[in-house]
Protein backbone atom coordinates (compact mmCIF):
# COMPACT_ATOMS: atom_id res chain seq x y z
CA UNK A 1 0.00 0.00 0.00
CA UNK A 2 1.38 3.44 -0.90
CA UNK A 3 2.16 5.99 1.79
CA UNK A 4 -0.27 8.39 0.15
CA UNK A 5 -3.13 5.96 0.72
CA UNK A 6 -2.07 5.17 4.25
CA UNK A 7 -1.51 8.75 5.36
CA UNK A 8 -5.05 10.03 4.87
CA UNK A 9 -6.82 10.79 8.12
CA UNK A 10 -10.07 12.75 7.69
CA UNK A 11 -13.49 11.92 9.13
CA UNK A 12 -14.52 8.27 8.84
CA UNK A 13 -16.92 8.45 5.83
CA UNK A 14 -14.44 10.43 3.78
CA UNK A 15 -11.56 8.25 4.98
CA UNK A 16 -13.34 5.12 3.75
CA UNK A 17 -14.19 6.78 0.43
CA UNK A 18 -10.65 8.02 -0.09
CA UNK A 19 -9.25 4.59 0.83
CA UNK A 20 -11.37 2.96 -1.86
CA UNK A 21 -10.35 5.57 -4.39
CA UNK A 22 -6.71 5.03 -3.49
CA UNK A 23 -7.11 1.31 -4.18
CA UNK A 24 -8.57 2.15 -7.59
CA UNK A 25 -5.66 4.49 -8.26
CA UNK A 26 -3.13 1.81 -7.36
CA UNK A 27 -4.69 -0.67 -9.74
CA UNK A 28 -4.57 1.84 -12.60
CA UNK A 29 -0.90 2.74 -12.19
CA UNK A 30 1.40 2.01 -15.14
CA UNK A 31 2.42 -1.62 -15.65
CA UNK A 32 6.17 -2.14 -15.99
CA UNK A 33 7.28 -4.33 -18.89
CA UNK A 34 10.63 -5.24 -20.39
CA UNK A 35 9.93 -2.87 -23.23
CA UNK A 36 9.12 0.15 -21.02
CA UNK A 37 5.89 1.40 -19.47
CA UNK A 38 2.35 0.56 -20.53
CA UNK A 39 -0.10 2.94 -18.86
CA UNK A 40 -3.86 2.69 -18.45
CA UNK A 41 -3.88 6.25 -17.07
CA UNK A 42 -4.51 9.35 -19.17
CA UNK A 43 -2.21 9.39 -22.18
CA UNK A 44 -1.94 12.47 -24.38
CA UNK A 45 -3.05 11.76 -27.95
CA UNK A 46 -4.51 13.66 -30.87
CA UNK A 47 -7.89 13.78 -29.14
CA UNK A 48 -6.63 14.96 -25.75
CA UNK A 49 -7.05 18.46 -24.43
CA UNK A 50 -3.65 19.39 -23.02
CA UNK A 51 -2.51 22.66 -21.46
CA UNK A 52 0.35 23.69 -19.18
CA UNK A 53 -0.73 25.14 -15.84
CA UNK A 54 0.96 27.80 -13.69
CA UNK A 55 3.01 25.18 -11.88
CA UNK A 56 4.42 24.24 -15.29
CA UNK A 57 2.64 20.87 -15.26
CA UNK A 58 0.95 19.51 -18.36
CA UNK A 59 -2.69 18.73 -17.67
CA UNK A 60 -4.47 16.51 -20.19
CA UNK A 61 -8.12 15.48 -20.46
CA UNK A 62 -9.51 12.93 -22.91
CA UNK A 63 -12.58 15.09 -23.44
CA UNK A 64 -13.83 18.49 -22.36
CA UNK A 65 -14.45 18.93 -18.64
CA UNK A 66 -18.15 18.66 -17.82
CA UNK A 67 -17.99 19.01 -14.03
CA UNK A 68 -15.59 21.72 -12.85
CA UNK A 69 -14.69 22.70 -9.28
CA UNK A 70 -13.17 26.17 -8.83
CA UNK A 71 -11.27 26.66 -5.57
CA UNK A 72 -10.92 30.46 -5.46
CA UNK A 73 -13.25 33.35 -6.29
CA UNK A 74 -10.88 34.37 -9.09
CA UNK A 75 -10.88 30.86 -10.54
CA UNK A 76 -14.68 30.89 -10.50
CA UNK A 77 -14.86 34.19 -12.33
CA UNK A 78 -12.23 33.16 -14.88
CA UNK A 79 -14.01 29.87 -15.60
CA UNK A 80 -17.27 31.69 -16.25
CA UNK A 81 -15.38 34.17 -18.43
CA UNK A 82 -14.04 31.25 -20.42
CA UNK A 83 -17.63 30.29 -21.27
CA UNK A 84 -17.73 27.27 -18.95
CA UNK A 85 -20.06 28.58 -16.26
CA UNK A 86 -22.69 25.91 -16.87
CA UNK A 87 -20.06 23.24 -16.16
CA UNK A 88 -19.14 24.59 -12.72
CA UNK A 89 -20.48 22.28 -9.99
CA UNK A 90 -18.46 23.50 -6.98
CA UNK A 91 -17.09 26.84 -5.78
CA UNK A 92 -15.68 28.26 -2.53
CA UNK A 93 -16.78 31.15 -0.33
CA UNK A 94 -16.82 34.68 -1.80
CA UNK A 95 -17.36 33.32 -5.31
CA UNK A 96 -19.88 36.07 -5.97
CA UNK A 97 -19.34 36.91 -9.62
CA UNK A 98 -21.09 36.44 -11.91
CA UNK A 99 -24.25 36.40 -9.76
CA UNK A 100 -25.22 32.90 -10.90
CA UNK A 101 -22.07 31.56 -9.22
CA UNK A 102 -23.78 32.20 -5.87
CA UNK A 103 -26.20 29.38 -6.68
CA UNK A 104 -23.46 26.76 -7.11
CA UNK A 105 -22.64 24.39 -4.24
CA UNK A 106 -19.91 25.72 -1.95
CA UNK A 107 -17.20 23.37 -0.68
CA UNK A 108 -15.63 25.56 2.00
CA UNK A 109 -13.12 28.33 1.57
CA UNK A 110 -9.99 28.60 -0.53
CA UNK A 111 -7.93 28.07 2.63
CA UNK A 112 -9.90 25.08 3.95
CA UNK A 113 -11.72 22.85 1.48
CA UNK A 114 -14.47 20.45 2.51
CA UNK A 115 -12.94 17.42 0.80
CA UNK A 116 -15.91 15.16 1.45
CA UNK A 117 -18.32 17.62 -0.15
CA UNK A 118 -15.98 18.21 -3.08
CA UNK A 119 -15.34 14.55 -3.79
CA UNK A 120 -19.07 13.85 -3.52
CA UNK A 121 -19.73 16.24 -6.40
CA UNK A 122 -17.43 14.14 -8.61
CA UNK A 123 -15.65 16.90 -10.56
CA UNK A 124 -13.69 15.84 -13.61
CA UNK A 125 -11.51 18.98 -13.35
CA UNK A 126 -10.39 21.00 -10.33
CA UNK A 127 -9.11 24.57 -10.77
CA UNK A 128 -6.62 25.24 -7.98
CA UNK A 129 -4.84 28.37 -6.78
CA UNK A 130 -1.05 27.99 -6.70
CA UNK A 131 -0.37 29.95 -3.50
CA UNK A 132 -3.89 30.15 -2.07
CA UNK A 133 -5.09 26.56 -1.61
CA UNK A 134 -3.73 24.28 1.16
CA UNK A 135 -1.01 22.09 -0.35
CA UNK A 136 -1.90 19.00 1.69
CA UNK A 137 -5.52 19.03 0.57
CA UNK A 138 -4.56 19.58 -3.05
CA UNK A 139 -2.13 16.67 -2.86
CA UNK A 140 -4.99 14.51 -1.56
CA UNK A 141 -7.14 15.43 -4.56
CA UNK A 142 -4.29 14.60 -6.92
CA UNK A 143 -3.74 11.27 -5.13
CA UNK A 144 -7.37 10.45 -5.91
CA UNK A 145 -6.64 10.86 -9.60
CA UNK A 146 -8.53 14.13 -9.99
CA UNK A 147 -7.06 16.37 -12.71
CA UNK A 148 -5.97 19.62 -11.03
CA UNK A 149 -5.19 22.69 -13.12
CA UNK A 150 -3.33 25.31 -11.08
CA UNK A 151 -3.64 29.00 -11.92
CA UNK A 152 -2.11 32.24 -10.65
CA UNK A 153 -2.19 35.02 -13.25
CA UNK A 154 0.44 37.65 -12.45
CA UNK A 155 0.35 39.86 -15.53
CA UNK A 156 -2.26 41.30 -17.85
CA UNK A 157 -1.23 38.78 -20.50
CA UNK A 158 -1.55 35.97 -17.95
CA UNK A 159 -5.21 36.83 -17.37
CA UNK A 160 -6.06 36.45 -21.05
CA UNK A 161 -3.87 33.37 -21.41
CA UNK A 162 -5.55 31.70 -18.42
CA UNK A 163 -8.97 32.23 -19.97
CA UNK A 164 -7.78 30.59 -23.19
CA UNK A 165 -6.34 27.59 -21.34
CA UNK A 166 -9.48 27.12 -19.25
CA UNK A 167 -11.58 27.30 -22.41
CA UNK A 168 -9.38 24.61 -23.97
CA UNK A 169 -10.00 22.26 -21.06
CA UNK A 170 -13.72 23.02 -20.99
CA UNK A 171 -14.29 22.80 -24.75
CA UNK A 172 -15.45 26.42 -24.95
CA UNK A 173 -12.61 27.76 -27.07
CA UNK A 174 -14.66 30.19 -29.17
CA UNK A 175 -16.29 31.93 -26.21
CA UNK A 176 -13.05 32.02 -24.25
CA UNK A 177 -11.08 33.42 -27.17
CA UNK A 178 -13.56 36.26 -27.66
CA UNK A 179 -13.32 37.29 -24.00
CA UNK A 180 -9.51 37.01 -23.97
CA UNK A 181 -9.15 39.08 -27.14
CA UNK A 182 -11.56 41.75 -25.89
CA UNK A 183 -9.66 42.00 -22.61
CA UNK A 184 -6.28 42.30 -24.36
CA UNK A 185 -7.59 44.98 -26.70
CA UNK A 186 -9.20 46.98 -23.89
CA UNK A 187 -6.05 46.97 -21.76
CA UNK A 188 -3.91 47.93 -24.77
CA UNK A 189 -6.19 50.86 -25.56
CA UNK A 190 -6.06 52.01 -21.95
CA UNK A 191 -2.27 51.81 -21.90
CA UNK A 192 -2.04 53.84 -25.11
CA UNK A 193 -4.42 56.48 -23.78
CA UNK A 194 -2.42 57.15 -20.61
CA UNK A 195 1.11 56.35 -21.73
CA UNK A 196 2.18 59.98 -22.16
CA UNK A 197 0.52 61.44 -19.06
CA UNK A 198 2.48 63.11 -16.29
CA UNK A 199 3.36 60.60 -13.54
CA UNK A 200 1.42 60.69 -10.28
CA UNK A 201 3.12 59.42 -7.14
CA UNK A 202 0.69 56.75 -5.98
CA UNK A 203 0.21 54.63 -2.88
CA UNK A 204 -2.09 51.64 -3.34
CA UNK A 205 -3.31 50.24 -0.03
CA UNK A 206 -4.17 46.57 -0.34
CA UNK A 207 -4.78 45.98 3.39
CA UNK A 208 -5.04 47.98 6.61
CA UNK A 209 -3.98 45.83 9.58
CA UNK A 210 -1.18 45.21 8.97
CA UNK A 211 -0.75 48.02 6.48
CA UNK A 212 0.20 46.57 3.10
CA UNK A 213 0.88 47.78 -0.42
CA UNK A 214 2.18 46.17 -3.64
CA UNK A 215 5.42 46.44 -5.58
CA UNK A 216 5.82 47.00 -9.32
CA UNK A 217 5.84 43.26 -10.06
CA UNK A 218 2.38 42.79 -8.58
CA UNK A 219 -0.51 42.87 -11.04
CA UNK A 220 -1.98 45.91 -9.28
CA UNK A 221 1.42 47.59 -9.47
CA UNK A 222 1.43 46.93 -13.19
CA UNK A 223 -1.98 48.60 -13.51
CA UNK A 224 -0.69 51.65 -11.62
CA UNK A 225 2.17 51.90 -14.14
CA UNK A 226 -0.23 51.41 -17.06
CA UNK A 227 -2.10 54.52 -15.85
CA UNK A 228 1.22 56.44 -15.66
CA UNK A 229 1.19 56.25 -11.91
CA UNK A 230 4.48 56.04 -10.03
CA UNK A 231 4.13 53.41 -7.33
CA UNK A 232 5.90 54.88 -4.28
CA UNK A 233 6.61 51.36 -3.00
CA UNK A 234 7.27 49.84 -6.40
CA UNK A 235 10.90 49.01 -5.65
CA UNK A 236 10.13 46.90 -2.58
CA UNK A 237 11.47 43.34 -2.74
CA UNK A 238 8.31 41.70 -1.46
CA UNK A 239 5.34 41.40 -3.80
CA UNK A 240 3.08 42.63 -0.98
CA UNK A 241 5.29 44.65 1.41
CA UNK A 242 4.24 45.40 4.97
CA UNK A 243 4.45 49.07 5.95
CA UNK A 244 3.61 51.58 8.65
CA UNK A 245 2.20 55.10 8.59
CA UNK A 246 5.68 56.60 8.86
CA UNK A 247 6.74 54.93 5.59
CA UNK A 248 3.73 56.39 3.79
CA UNK A 249 4.33 59.84 5.26
CA UNK A 250 7.97 59.70 4.17
CA UNK A 251 6.94 58.67 0.63
CA UNK A 252 4.35 61.50 0.56
CA UNK A 253 2.19 60.16 -2.30
CA UNK A 254 0.10 62.52 -4.41
CA UNK A 255 -2.73 59.98 -4.57
CA UNK A 256 -3.83 57.20 -2.23
CA UNK A 257 -6.01 54.44 -3.62
CA UNK A 258 -7.58 51.83 -1.37
CA UNK A 259 -9.77 48.82 -2.02
CA UNK A 260 -11.24 48.41 1.45
CA UNK A 261 -12.89 45.25 2.72
CA UNK A 262 -16.10 45.59 0.73
CA UNK A 263 -17.52 47.00 -2.46
CA UNK A 264 -18.82 50.17 -0.79
CA UNK A 265 -16.40 50.52 2.11
CA UNK A 266 -14.20 53.64 2.14
CA UNK A 267 -13.18 53.68 5.81
CA UNK A 268 -9.53 52.85 5.07
CA UNK A 269 -9.20 56.27 3.44
CA UNK A 270 -10.52 58.21 6.43
CA UNK A 271 -7.49 57.01 8.40
CA UNK A 272 -5.22 59.23 6.31
CA UNK A 273 -7.22 62.37 6.94
CA UNK A 274 -5.44 62.74 10.27
CA UNK A 275 -2.36 63.79 8.26
CA UNK A 276 -3.46 67.04 6.56
CA UNK A 277 0.06 67.82 5.32
CA UNK A 278 0.18 64.60 3.30
CA UNK A 279 -0.01 65.65 -0.37
CA UNK A 280 -2.83 63.22 -1.18
CA UNK A 281 -4.87 64.57 1.74
CA UNK A 282 -4.12 68.21 1.03
CA UNK A 283 -5.22 67.80 -2.60
CA UNK A 284 -8.26 65.65 -1.74
CA UNK A 285 -6.81 62.75 -3.72
CA UNK A 286 -8.02 59.86 -1.58
CA UNK A 287 -9.76 57.37 -3.86
CA UNK A 288 -11.69 54.13 -3.51
CA UNK A 289 -11.72 51.37 -6.14
CA UNK A 290 -13.93 48.32 -5.48
CA UNK A 291 -11.54 45.48 -4.62
CA UNK A 292 -13.25 42.90 -6.82
CA UNK A 293 -12.40 45.07 -9.85
CA UNK A 294 -8.71 45.48 -9.12
CA UNK A 295 -7.64 42.72 -6.75
CA UNK A 296 -8.94 39.74 -8.73
CA UNK A 297 -7.00 38.74 -11.87
CA UNK A 298 -10.07 38.49 -14.09
CA UNK A 299 -11.49 40.36 -17.11
CA UNK A 300 -13.09 42.86 -14.73
CA UNK A 301 -9.55 44.09 -14.12
CA UNK A 302 -10.17 46.19 -17.23
CA UNK A 303 -12.98 48.01 -15.37
CA UNK A 304 -10.76 48.43 -12.32
CA UNK A 305 -7.87 49.74 -14.40
CA UNK A 306 -10.18 52.21 -16.14
CA UNK A 307 -11.39 53.48 -12.79
CA UNK A 308 -7.88 53.73 -11.35
CA UNK A 309 -6.66 55.64 -14.40
CA UNK A 310 -9.58 58.05 -14.06
CA UNK A 311 -8.71 58.67 -10.40
CA UNK A 312 -5.11 59.50 -11.22
CA UNK A 313 -6.29 61.77 -14.02
CA UNK A 314 -8.38 63.67 -11.48
CA UNK A 315 -5.22 64.28 -9.47
CA UNK A 316 -3.43 65.55 -12.57
CA UNK A 317 -6.28 67.98 -13.23
CA UNK A 318 -6.20 69.23 -9.63
CA UNK A 319 -2.46 69.66 -9.88
CA UNK A 320 -2.73 71.57 -13.17
CA UNK A 321 -5.48 73.81 -11.75
CA UNK A 322 -3.39 74.59 -8.69
CA UNK A 323 -0.34 75.40 -10.85
CA UNK A 324 -2.47 77.69 -13.03
CA UNK A 325 -3.81 79.56 -9.99
CA UNK A 326 -0.29 80.00 -8.62
CA UNK A 327 0.84 81.37 -11.97
CA UNK A 328 -2.05 83.83 -12.16
CA UNK A 329 -1.40 85.03 -8.65
**pLDDT surpasses 60 at 171:** yes
Q: If pLDDT is split at 50, 70 and 90, which confidence band does 266 have? A: confident
Rounded Cα distance between 178 and 155, Å, is 19
Task: Please count the other Cβ atoms lying within 10 Å of the Cβ belonging to residue 262.
Answer: 11
- The stretch 86-105 carries a mean pLDDT of 97
Q: Are strands 36-38 and 31-33 parallel, antiparallel or unpaired?
A: antiparallel
pLDDT at residue 36 in the model: 36
- The stretch 82-94 carries a mean pLDDT of 97
Rounded Cα distance between 140 and 214, Å, is 33
Stated as kind and residue range, the H or E segment containing 314 is helix 301-328
Contact indicator for 254, 279 with CB cutoff of 8 Å:
yes
Backbone angles phi, psi at 230, to 5 degrees: -110, 105
Rounded Cα distance between 197 and 199, Å, is 6
Stated as kind and residue range, the H or E segment containing 90 is strand 88-90
Q: pLDDT (tens digit, 9 = 90+) per residue, 149-164?
A: 999 999 999 999 999 9
Q: pLDDT (tens digit, 9 = 90+) per residue, 196-241?
A: 999 999 999 999 999 999 999 999 999 999 999 999 999 999 999 9
Q: Which of 9-18, 20-29, 262-271 has the highest mean pLDDT?
A: 262-271
Q: What percent of the chain has pLDDT over 90?
A: 78
On the CB side of 151, CA atoms within 13 Å amount to 31
Q: pLDDT (tens digit, 9 = 90+) per residue, 36-81?
A: 333 333 344 445 899 999 999 999 999 999 999 999 999 999 999 9
**pLDDT surpasses 70 at 191:** yes
Amino acid sequence: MSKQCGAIGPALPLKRFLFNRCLQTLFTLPLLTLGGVVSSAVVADDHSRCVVDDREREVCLHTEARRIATLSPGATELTYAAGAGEQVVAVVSYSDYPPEAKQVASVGSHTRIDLEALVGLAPDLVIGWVTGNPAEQMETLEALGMPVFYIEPRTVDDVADTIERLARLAGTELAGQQVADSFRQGMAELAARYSDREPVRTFYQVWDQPLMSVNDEHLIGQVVQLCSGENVFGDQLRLVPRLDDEAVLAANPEAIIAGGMGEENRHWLTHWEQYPHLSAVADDSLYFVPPSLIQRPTPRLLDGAQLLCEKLEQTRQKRAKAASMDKDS
